[in-house]
Structure 1
């Protein structure tokens, strides 16, 4: 019993050290940015998303579908605007920072253009959270046939993967 507890404590200690080592080599420019200091908030939001996918259709089963046309139009316009902003920032700042068609290494510089690229990458990450609303709209409109495995997998994994991307490589190509 005591040997099992010691092994468990040792494993936890090694995992904690590995986590600390990984955080130590992360991009220092994103430290303090919303949701960037720990993966826990991103994991919690993703788990809440998956709970919504599981419970949402069950809750809506006894309700009429909601009419969401105006809200969805505003949401879609907002997503288009945000995507345009992200592309504009990446193209303009990439050009100004001297990015070329060939592979561009990550630069952890505090140069204005590199910082704007890092911020655009953060907005792209955050857009993955916002885009989880697609699923909410499917559920409240009772369009459950659109809740495919691919749809749910995409929305739940992209948010987590982009946290990693912004945390370690918010720049370069």
Structure 2
């Protein structure tokens, strides 16, 4: 029994020591930004998100009618288009269109105005991931449980969690923040698609490019992987935290493979439901096959049939 108590004390002591070490290592230029004081608050928020998305939300809505949130979704999607467009602009002005070489760009440790601008936009990109948690809230309130896949929840919770560690140590991340700028650019297109989808049946004719959303995502991962792969072929690149390079490369390749598999299954092998004759539904949309892509993002912003059992679907491609 004493040995067990001793082990618990040592474990707690190690956790506290690690916590103090992280606080000591946190870059002073970003320490005062919201949600950057320690990893406890952001971890608690994300754990609560997972618990509410998977357990509490679907059960609260189980015996309730789905809410009609079209106006809220239009405002939300338009806001996300504008926010991500601003993030892309700031990334460009803070370095990628001005001083960065697009090759071996190191972490900037100075306090130049341009560097502080890059730190601000990196933090804003990080904070935008918390705003994106509303994606799941809309699914829950509208009882679109088929869209709350394991990969959807994992992507929305893991992305901000990993980015906290990134900007804690390297808030002006140099070549390590290229993928954030590309991701924000893709989100401009994606949320614009969602905006049209939420705007009602009269805009359905403008959604013919749904298939190309996957192509855009594939392009994103190719760009990220190719850019970060330069590190391995340079004679000398003294990037301060090489681990970020390896993780970004693995992320790009991993999701490229997942999206490639989706593309093959959906568009080459044609493993989708056959086209359905236009039948009016209560919300004015038709029962067109809907596909959930590999990272949990949905190509229709909530126009799929809903399930009332609240279960989380684990498949990479779900046809409804």
TM-score (ref. length: structure 1)? 0.93
Q: Match for residue 159 of structure 1?
A: 160
Q: CA offset at residue 95 of structure 1?
A: 4.4
**In structure 1, distance between residues paired with 2:4 and 2:98:** 54
- Partner of 1:29: helix, strand, or coil? coil
Q: Which has more helix, going by share of residues?
A: 1
2:139 matches 1:142: no
Give yes or no for contact 2:96–2:102 (8 Å, CA) kept in 1.
Answer: no
1:106 Cα shift? 0.9
Partners of 2:30 and 2:109 in 1: CA distance:
10
- 1:103 Cα deviation (Å)? 2.2
Q: CA deviation at 1:159?
A: 1.6
Q: Check 1:51–1:15 CA distance in 2 against 1; reply closer, same or farther (3 A cut).
A: closer
2:124 counterpart residue number? 123
- Matching of residue 72 in structure 1 with residue 73 in structure 2: yes
Equivalent position of 1:92 in the other structure: 93
Report if the CA contact (8 A) 1:90-1:117 is conserved: yes
Size of the aligned set, in residue pairs, is 173
Aligned to 1:61: 62
Per mean C-alpha deviation after superposition, the further-off stretch among 108-117 and 21-30 is 21-30
Shift of 1:96: 7.0
Q: Deviations over 1:67-102 (max 9, x none)?
A: 111111111111111111111111111047621111
- Higher Rg of the two aligned structures: 2
- Which structure would you say has the larger RCO, counting Cα contacts within 8 Å and 6 or more residues apart? 1
**Which has the higher mean CA deviation after the structures are superposed, 113-122 or 99-108?**
99-108
Alpha-carbon offset, residue 105 of structure 1: 1.2
Cα offset for 1:124?
A: 0.7
Alignment RMSD, CA only? 1.5
SS at the partner of 1:30? coil
Distance in 1, matches of 2:86 and 2:60, equals: 36
Q: Distance in 1 between matches of 2:38 and 2:96?
A: 31
Deviation of 1:25 after TM superposition, in Å, equals 2.1
Q: What is the correspondence of 1:109-120 to structure 2 with a 5 Å cutoff?
A: 109-120=110-121
Q: Tell me how far apart the structure 2 counterparts of residues 11 and 43 of structure 1 sit (CA, whole Å).
A: 19
Task: Check the 8 A contact 1:97/1:113 in 2, yes or no.
Answer: no
